[in-house]
């Protein structure tokens, strides 16, 4: 099954069922554009043959980054660099989709002291994020237009599809969650209102890109937070997305307050679930009951037999994988060909609960940068150094921009 093709509702065909999930690159310089590092990285992944590659967060507004070093696409000046990048990323004839994103309140204090969010609810995480300001209606309208514009530019720049990032606690996910969306206007309150921003962006992007251009959405199964976005909400949003016409739905979960997609807290998780390596599959099964949208599940897949089994059982259509592309990048082809049964599952743990997600994220962020530079990986990196890696990288980038 892994090597069979999949035709999406828009008519595009993925040539196999393995997707490289979005991995934020943090490689751009002061111009926010993709460069030779992005090209080298994507060319090497493309050579391994996954049927679909999703870029890391591409920002629709360079004032608000998910991480320093993000690519941001606002106007035609980005096109030449985008074209070079997409050429490298499609080297093996696969699909290459741009993941479009706005961070909302999850925007480091080093990037902005005044992030935007649905409501002024601060993200409390080691003092790394400033208190956001609630967006005005005009700012919401502007964000919609930015998503549409960036999507159009990405199509022109050679991407073969886009994915709207509505997961992981970024802006669209903040609007969906009652924990971060306390608005009392048409954009808050009932789920229909909280989903309005995502649904409007989807509708308007579809209109701009046409019915034959792939549009995907990455959605949380839940925030895993008290008072947050829950599974029943997610299933209703899936129904609406299906009606509106999505080509590939990717399910994940968690926010910066609880990075479930990186570090799954297994306390209280059923033994039957724990034994299954892909932790959002239980939710995927519920999605299947309410929707026939092509489904990609990301998070935890490491063995070929398990991936095959999940595909055979029809639990999903596309296997998403992130971290194996960073620690065993040259083995993805072997995995696809059936010559490698299992990727190793490296876990980076400091022993301090508050630092575990930063250590896990930092470790992989560093491997990505080494790979892009053509250097040897540093799998022996200490967990504490890993925990500090992203804040220090952000600081270097921020200072580099200012001086
Ligand atoms: C270094 C790193 C960067 C990531 N960047 C993004 C991103 O830009 N957008 C996104 O949706 N998910 C991002 N993720 C999450 C992955 O797409 C994926 O959901 C997660 O790693 C779980 O899959 P895995 O167990 O196969 O790694 C990132 C993960 C890592 C480790």
Residues with CB under 6 A from ligand 1: 21-24, 56-57, 99, 165, 168, 218, 252, 261-262, 298-301, 321-323, 361, 364-365, 368
Which of residues 372 and 259 earns the better pLDDT score? 372
Mean pLDDT to the nearest integer, 99-124: 95
Number of domains making up the chain: 1
Which residue's CA is the nearest one to ligand 1's atom 14? 23
Is residue 355 a part of any domain in this protein? yes
Residue 65 is part of which domain span?
A: 6-402
pLDDT in tens, 305-349: 999 999 999 999 999 999 999 999 999 999 999 999 999 988 889
Task: Return the minimum-mean-pLDDT range out of 91-100, 263-272, 274-283, 310-319.
Answer: 263-272
pLDDT of 29 strictly over 80: yes
pLDDT of 266 strictly over 80: no
Mean pLDDT to the nearest integer, 391-403: 78
Q: What is the model's pLDDT at position 352? A: 85
pLDDT of 402 strictly over 60: no
Ligand 1 atom with least separation from CA of 321:
26
Ligand 1 atom with least separation from CA of 55:
8
Ligand 1 atom with least separation from CA of 300:
25
pLDDT in tens, 339-392: 999 999 888 898 888 888 899 999 999 999 999 999 999 999 999 999 999 999
Which residue's CA is the nearest one to ligand 1's atom 4? 23
Q: What is the mean pLDDT of the chain?
A: 94
Mean pLDDT to the nearest integer, 174-180: 97
Is residue 191 a part of any domain in this protein? yes
CA of 321 relative to ligand 1 center, distance in Å: 8
Mean pLDDT to the nearest integer, 88-107: 96
Q: Residue 403 — pLDDT band, cuts 50, 70, 90?
A: very low
pLDDT of 35 strictly over 80: yes
Q: Residue 400 — pLDDT band, cuts 50, 70, 90?
A: confident
Ligand 1 atom with least separation from CA of 302:
26
Cα 113 to chain centroid distance, Å, stands at 24
Coil, strand, or helix at residue 131? coil
CA of 52 relative to ligand 1 center, distance in Å: 15
Is residue 1 a part of any domain in this protein? no
Which residue's CA is the nearest one to ligand 1's atom 21? 322
CA of 205 relative to ligand 1 center, distance in Å: 24
Is residue 293 a part of any domain in this protein? yes
Q: What is the model's pLDDT at position 226? A: 85
pLDDT in tens, 115-165: 999 999 999 888 889 999 999 999 999 999 999 999 999 999 999 999 999
Mean pLDDT to the nearest integer, 16-36: 97
Which residue's CA is the nearest one to ligand 1's atom 2? 23
Is residue 361 a part of any domain in this protein? yes
Q: What is the model's pLDDT at position 104? A: 98
CA of 22 relative to ligand 1 center, distance in Å: 6
For the entire predicted model, the pTM comes to: 0.96
Residue 226, class by beta-carbon neighbours within 10 Å (0-12 exposed, 13-18 middle, 19+ buried)? exposed
Give the percent of the chain with pLDDT over 70.
96
Substitution site in 20, 57, 261 for ligand 1 pocket (most atoms within 8 Å of beta carbon): 261
Substitution site in 22, 303, 348 for ligand 1 pocket (most atoms within 8 Å of beta carbon): 22
CA of 298 relative to ligand 1 center, distance in Å: 8
Ligand 1 atom with least separation from CA of 365:
1
Q: Which long-range contacts (CB under 8 A, 24 or more apart) does 32-38 make?
A: 32/59, 32/62, 32/70, 32/71, 32/72, 32/73, 32/78, 33/71, 33/78, 33/81, 33/82, 34/71, 34/81, 34/82, 34/84, 34/85, 35/81, 37/369, 37/372, 37/373, 38/71, 38/85, 38/88, 38/372
Is residue 202 a part of any domain in this protein? yes
CA of 208 relative to ligand 1 center, distance in Å: 28
Mean pLDDT to the nearest integer, 162-180: 97
Tokens 């679930």 label which residue? 273
Q: Residue 273 — pLDDT band, cuts 50, 70, 90?
A: low
CA of 186 relative to ligand 1 center, distance in Å: 32
- Between CA 207 and CA 334 the distance in angstroms is 40
Read off the CATH number of the domain in which 175 is found: 3.20.20.70
Q: Residue 262 — pLDDT band, cuts 50, 70, 90?
A: confident
CA of 362 relative to ligand 1 center, distance in Å: 12
Mean pLDDT to the nearest integer, 40-60: 98
Is residue 47 a part of any domain in this protein? yes
pLDDT in tens, 208-224: 999 999 999 999 998 88
Which tokens is 180 given? 């971060």
Is residue 165 a part of any domain in this protein? yes
């Amino acid at each position: 099954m892994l090597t069979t093709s999949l035709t999406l509702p828009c008519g595009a065909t993925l040539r196999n069922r393995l997707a490289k999930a979005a991995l934020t690159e943090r490689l751009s310089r002061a111009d926010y554009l993709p460069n030779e590092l992005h090209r080298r990285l994507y060319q090497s992944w493309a050579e391994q043959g996954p049927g679909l590659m999703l870029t890391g967060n591409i920002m629709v507004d360079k004032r608000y980054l998910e991480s320093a070093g993000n690519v941001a696409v606002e106007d035609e000046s980005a096109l030449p660099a985008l074209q070079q990048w997409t050429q490298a990323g499609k080297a093996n004839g696969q699909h290459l989709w741009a993941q479009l994103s706005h961070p909302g309140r999850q925007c480091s204090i080093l990037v902005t002291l005044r992030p935007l969010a649905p409501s002024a609810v601060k993200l409390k995480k080691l003092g790394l994020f400033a208190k956001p300001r609630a967006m005005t209606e005009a700012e919401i309208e502007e964000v919609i237009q930015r998503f549409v514009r960036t999507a159009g530019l990405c199509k022109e720049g050679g991407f073969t599809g886009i994915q709207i990032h509505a997961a992981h606690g970024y802006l669209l996910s903040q609007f969906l969650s009652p924990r971060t969306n306390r608005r009392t206007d048409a954009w808050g309150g009932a789920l229909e209102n909280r989903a309005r921003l995502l649904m409007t962006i989807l509708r308007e992007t579809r209109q701009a890109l046409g019915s034959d251009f792939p549009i995907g959405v990455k959605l949380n199964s839940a925030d895993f937070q008290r008072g947050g976005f829950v599974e029943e909400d997610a299933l209703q949003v899936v129904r609406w997305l299906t009606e509106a016409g999505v080509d590939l739905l990717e399910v994940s979960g968690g926010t910066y307050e609880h990075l479930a997609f990186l570090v799954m807290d297994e306390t209280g998780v059923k033994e039957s679930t724990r034994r299954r390596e892909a932790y959002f599959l239980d939710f995927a099964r519920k999605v299947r009951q309410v929707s026939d949208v092509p489904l990609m599940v990301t998070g935890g897949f490491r063995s070929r037999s398990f991936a095959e089994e999940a595909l055979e059982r029809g639990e999903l259509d596309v296997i998403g994988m992130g971290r194996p592309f960073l620690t065993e990048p040259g083995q993805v082809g072997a995995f696809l060909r059936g010559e490698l049964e299992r990727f190793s599952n490296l876990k980076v743990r400091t022993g301090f609960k508050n630092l575990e997600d930063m250590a896990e994220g930092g470790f992989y962020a560093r491997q990505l940068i080494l790979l892009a530079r053509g250097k040897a990986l540093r799998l022996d990196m200490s967990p504490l150094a890993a925990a500090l890696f992203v804040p220090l990288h952000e600081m270097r980038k921020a200072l580099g921009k200012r001086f």
